[in-house]
Amino acid sequence: MSPSRIDDPENPEWIEADFAQAKPPGALPDHVLAAFPKTPGSAAARRRLAVSFSAGLAIVGQGAGARLNSLAA
């Protein structure tokens, strides 16, 4: 099943010129940035990084998640 395409004249697909004119989040006024506290680049976004792995209990040991979280704190 292919996704349906929605054409919105008020929000058209960006072209190369749009990306060239785009500004980074830091260029926004503080009151706008405050509405997006987890925007990449903010301290909240840099504190944690999602990591996923799978290992057997015999390798990692019981309580591994708690130990890893204590290291990250």
DSSP 50: -
In a domain, 39, yes or no: yes
In a domain, 33, yes or no: yes
Number of residues assigned to the chain? 73
In a domain, 58, yes or no: no
Does residue 73 surpass a pLDDT of 70? no
In a domain, 63, yes or no: no
What's the domain count of the chain? 1
In a domain, 28, yes or no: yes
Environment class of residue 60 by beta-carbon count within 10 Å: exposed (0-12), middle (13-18) or buried (19+)?
Answer: middle
pTM above 0.95, yes or no: no
Confidence tier at 1 by pLDDT (50, 70, 90): very low
In a domain, 72, yes or no: no
Q: Which domain holds residue 34?
A: 13-46
> For the segment 20-65, what is each residue's pLDDT rounded down to a tens digit?
999 888 888 889 888 887 766 556 556 667 778 787 777 777 888 7
